[in-house]
Structure 1
Amino acid sequence: MNPSPPSAAAPAVALPDLSGTPYVTNPGVGGYRLVRAAVAPAAPPVLDAAQRAVVEHRGGPLLVLGGPGTGKTSTLVEAVAARVRAGTAPERILVLTFHRKAALALRDRIAARLGAHDPAGPGGPLPAAPQTATFHSFCYGLLRAHQPAERYAEPVRLLSGPEQDLLVRELLAGQITLARDGRAHVRWPDELRAALTTRGFADEVRAVLARSRELGLAPETLRAAARRIGRPDWGAAADFLAEYLDVTDLQGVIDYSELVQRAVRLVRRPEVHAELSGRYDAVYVDEYQDTDVAQVRLLRALAGGGRTLVAFGDPDQSVYAFRGADVNGILDFPERFPGSAAGPPGSRSSPAPTAPPPRCWPPPAG
């Protein structure tokens, strides 16, 4: 018996997405299509003078500092919505944050504010919303879009934390067998060999790998530093890093630190840089204090040179210091993102302005 196509008059069925975002099915000929359910329009918060200055900021880099509960995220939402209402196409705005849950919440809050001004009115189609993503999801999408087909038969796969831990421990255990057969390329100092199979040593090696890639250190750079200061353990770590990168490349997998580093290298290619420079008119970053060195390099490639970058952060609130987050990302913001694309000959570009701590009433939920 052949199934009949769904009736055009069939009611829509509400389905929950795994992320908690509601979707509905729209019956159509031959199947169903999942679309986001409408977000209820949200009333605007009352902004003070500092917040209004951020919302009305039209061009160039801007750093917005504020403590917990001061309304940084609410100001970000209002700034994005105001830019769209002023005529910027939503797809030309990029919003980056760190947690997937935070990215989903930001997307819905921005859509709710845009919905309050949607000319289609209640029940109409959802207004387009800017791209809202985590740093890692943005980088992964970038790599997938520019992945050379002749090099990868399948899309590159992102390693989970436990998978990376297992891979590092297997490679370390293999070092013992290779050393016994005289075929080891990584020569750990004698005092470390007994620890190669321990979980604690594997954790330390993972931390070295991650920090090296966040700083953009190639194995040969780390190896040269080891020779210069007389650290044979660093030299062994450099050799292990080279082997680790070879193995992950052969397996078509990538870890989180290498993901951002490869995205940075990709964005520096002239044709990719030109494409991305022409794609976004403004980039917004929430929780900027949690950026590491590689992520700041990515932002410079995306929105450097005096383009519009609005970063919100609190230097006293970083939760990723153990993963390479660097408070200098905030302290050095004016130097890394100068306020103009180029200054007069013989002079320096003007520094990026820093807005005073925002306040918001009513206080933002959560």
Structure 2
Amino acid sequence: MSSPPAAAPRTGHRLVAAPLAVPRPLAADAAQRRVIEHPGGPLLVLAGPGTGKTATLVEAVAARVEAGADPRSILVLTFSRRAAAELRERITARLGPTGAGRGPQAWTFHAWCLAVLRAHDRPAPSGGFRLLSGPEQDSRLRELVEGSREDGRPAWPESLARCLGTRGFTEEVRALLARAREVGLEPVGLAQLARRTARPEWTALAEFYEMYLDVFGFEGALDYADLVHRAALVAEGAAAGEELRTRYQHVFVDEYQDTDPAQERLLRALAGGGGNLIAFGDPDQSIYAFRGAEVAGLLDFPQRFRAPGGGQAPIVALRTCRRMAPGPLL
């Protein structure tokens, strides 16, 4: 029997993370100072490419921490994991060594919503909540559609008979369910809409929608649209909603033009009624309408999020481009 291989000799070397370089405070212009020094309540910041939007957001967060705000009371939301990671790194670097490990956290909307459900949604499924990927959701939807054809529930109309087994039908059903969740439309509401418009296809889809929620709810499985909808319901509740509003005293949202109605509902529950919500966005960069994003949420922000006195939320436009010479901007 051969002896086990000898362990590799220790070299005395170990990997050490490089220290974060502390950047200089932002040399802000007048518009950026208005954002950084905003006294409270909602604020809309219009910022095109290269206007220092991210630097202004980071500096505004740092200003509140330096003024004594608990870092855990500051919530920063964005849309991609990459953007959230960059914001975390820049906020930590701006706060310096004393901010490492205690600085405000930047989250994607979906990651934060999942954390809210795991902390507050009761009773939770026995196996906990599980977020489905797009391909996994498509696969489960095809299984449910096929099962419904065999069980005869729902009773799909003859007009859909030839397309029930196709991938295109599954994609259309997925898109409809996502839009229904984003606008807060429950199965009973879809059924009522189907009766008013005399659409038998929608009647069957309403029944399928209810079955879909029952099956996925039992499994603890969530798609992205349902995740935000469920988190909004939690934030609108009395006990959990009050706890969330008490905890998060300052809310920052990047790329606000990409929000959908469900995400706006969530923000209204979290920071409506004059709460400290600073939203950064650019209507010219709204490209996710196919995912349910509505640029109207950005354009109507001053009316939808009122200042503490009841007036419209103020607007600050960052107009100085630091990325390009004037020529390309024309």
TM-score, structure 2 as length reference: 0.90
Residue 127 of structure 2: aligned partner: 154
Q: 1:280–1:358: structure 2 CA closer, same or farther, 3 Å change rule?
A: farther
Equivalent position of 1:346 in the other structure:
none
- 1:261-281 CA-partner distances (Å, limit 9, x unpaired): 000111111111111111012
Does structure 1 conserve the Cα–Cα contact (< 8 Å) formed by 2:81 and 2:108? Answer: yes
Contact 1:288 1:312 in 2 (8 A): yes
Cα pair distance change 1:144/1:108, threshold 3 Å: same
2:210 is aligned with 1:232? no
State the one-letter code of the partner of 2:147: G
Q: Given the alignment of the two structures, is residue 166 of structure 1 paired with residue 127 of structure 2, yes or no?
A: no
In structure 1, how many angstroms separate the alpha carbons of the residues matched to 2:172 and 2:74?
39
Paired residues of 2:50 and 2:323 also in contact (CA < 8 A):
no
Contact 1:95 1:284 in 2 (8 A): yes
CA contact under 8 A between 1:97 and 1:135: conserved in structure 2? yes
Aligned to 1:73: 54
Structure 1 segments, 4+ long, off by >4 Å, are: 360-363
Distance (Å, rounded) in 2 between the aligned partners of 1:63 and 1:134: 19
| Structure 2 SS opposite 1:59 | coil
Partner of 2:283: 315
Question: In structure 2, what is the equivalent of residue 126 of structure 1?
Answer: 100
Q: CA deviation at 1:127?
A: 5.9
Aligned residue pairs total: 313
Task: Give the partner amino acid of 1:174.
Answer: G
The reply on whether 1:204 has 2:172 as its aligned counterpart is: yes
Residue from 133, 137, 142 that aligns with 2:116 = 142
Shift of 1:256: 0.7
AA aligned to 1:290 is D
Deviation at 1:12, TM superposition (A): 5.2
Cα root mean square deviation, aligned = 1.8
Deviations 1:67-89 (A, max 9, x none): 22222111111111111112212
Kindly state the Cα deviation for residue 11 of structure 1 after the two structures are TM-superposed. Answer: 6.7
Deviation (angstroms), 1:196? 0.5
Give 1:362 shift. Answer: 7.2
More helix by share: 2
The correspondence of residues 315-354 of structure 1 with structure 2, limited to 5 A, is 315-340=283-308, 343=309, 349-354=310-315
Deviation string, structure 1 residues 178-211 (Cα, Å, up to 9, x no partner) = 2xxxxx2212221211101111111111000100
Cα separation, 2, equivalents of 1:185 and 1:99? 38
| Alignment check: 8 A CA contact 1:40 1:112 kept | yes
Distance 1:54 1:361, change over 3 A: same
1:101 to 79, 82, 98: 82
Unaligned runs of 5+ in 1: 1-9, 15-23, 25-36, 179-183, 344-348
Letter in 2 for 1:49: A
**1:90-121: per-residue Cα shift (whole Å, max 9, x none)?**
11110000001100000100111111xx5x5x
One-letter code aligned to 1:93: I
Q: State, as a whole percentage, how many aligned pairs show the same letter.
A: 55
Q: Which residue of 2 aligns with 1:250?
A: 218
Give the aligned partner of residue 269 of structure 2.
301
Give the partner amino acid of 1:305. Answer: G
Q: Which residue of 2 aligns with 1:60?
A: 41
Whole-angstrom CA distance in 2 between matches of 1:220 and 1:74: 46
In structure 2, relative to structure 1, the CA distance for the partners of 1:196 and 1:362 (3 Å cut) is: closer
User: 3-state DSSP class of the match of 1:94?
Assistant: strand
Kindly provide the amino acid, as one letter, of the partner of residue 337 in structure 1: F
Structure 1 distance, partners of 2:319, 2:271, is: 23
The one-letter code of the counterpart of 2:23 is A
Q: Which residue of 1 aligns with 2:68?
A: 87
1:296-340 Cα offsets, whole Å, 9 max, x none, are 000011111101100000111123211100011012212211011
Partner amino acid for 1:231? R
Q: 1:307 to 1:156 in 2, by over 3 A?
A: same
Is contact 1:159–1:255 with CA below 8 Å preserved after alignment?
yes
Q: Which has the higher strand share?
A: 1
